[in-house]
Chain A
């Protein structure tokens, strides 16, 4: 079974600075997708960024980018120019490419943004 590990329960960043959230996963599959979701106090999961395992290029969405290291099974999220609205719980998630009808989530990282 696939597992996702987020080793940082909590992180803090100063407004306008850069922060990196870590995620590692375990799988024997070669075809899969990785995601970062944001969960603010409103509780709704919001997709931040997604990476297909077959793509070598790291995904980027505006201030958000990932460092995808397939051999190391690592998938970190970098947030540049942090804003107060970035404060939330962030979850790393995995989905199998071939059999995937579900997301496997990590335990999450609370991100605090200081003004």
Chain B
């Protein structure tokens, strides 16, 4: 049974650029959630995808968008990058919207630095 895989592990982008982060969910999981973790803070919920549709969104602007594919993997896209977007981006997969049965499995994250 594979866990959650995120790529890339580290990324450096310039302000104004666009970035795509990828997440492969754990085998058997059909829901993916994305979180932003700024340095020294707890993760903040960005959004969740279930059956290829967004199911809930946190307090993030529209330049944060996502996709979920038929194999349940997911992408997080951020347009017009700002310095404050520098953070660790965590992906979590679950079986069902609330992870009732087995909880959430997190990946090791993508460290994004915007310069």
Residues of A within 8 A of B (CB): 4, 35, 37, 42-47, 50, 91, 93, 95, 100-108
Q: With A and B bound together, what is the CA distance between A100 and B94 in angstroms? A: 13
Q: With A and B bound together, what is the CA distance between A42 and B14 in angstroms? A: 26
Q: With A and B bound together, what is the CA distance between A42 and B111 in angstroms? A: 12
Asked whether any CB of chain A lies closer than 8 Å to the CB of B103, the reply is yes
**A108: nearest residue on chain B (CB-CB)?**
B42
Contact in complex: A108, B109 (CB < 8 Å): no
User: With contacts defined as CB atoms under 8 Å apart, how many contacts are there between chain A and chain B in the complex?
Assistant: 55
Which residues from chain B contact A50 at a C-beta distance below 8 Å?
103
Residues facing A in B87-115 (CB within 8 A) are 88, 90, 92, 97-98, 103-104, 106-109, 111
Which residues from chain A contact B107 at a C-beta distance below 8 Å?
44
Tell me how far the C-beta of B2 lies from the nearest C-beta in chain A, rounded to whole angstroms.
13
Q: With A and B bound together, what is the CA distance between A15 and B106 in angstroms? A: 28
Contact in complex: B90, A45 (CB < 8 Å): yes
**A45: nearest residue on chain B (CB-CB)?**
B106
Contact in complex: B41, A108 (CB < 8 Å): yes
Chain B interface helix/strand/loop/mixed: strand
Which residues from chain A contact B97 at a C-beta distance below 8 Å?
101
Contact in complex: A103, B45 (CB < 8 Å): yes
Which residues from chain A contact B56 at a C-beta distance below 8 Å?
101-102
Contact in complex: A44, B43 (CB < 8 Å): no
- State which of B35, B90, B104 has its C-beta within 8 Å of the C-beta of A47: B104
Contact in complex: A44, B108 (CB < 8 Å): yes
**B46: nearest residue on chain A (CB-CB)?**
A102
Which residues from chain A contact B109 at a C-beta distance below 8 Å?
43-44
Contact in complex: B108, A43 (CB < 8 Å): yes
Q: List 8 A-B contacts (CB under 8 A).
A: A43-B88, A44-B106, A45-B106, A93-B42, A100-B98, A101-B98, A103-B43, A106-B42
Which residues from chain A contact B98 at a C-beta distance below 8 Å?
95, 100-101
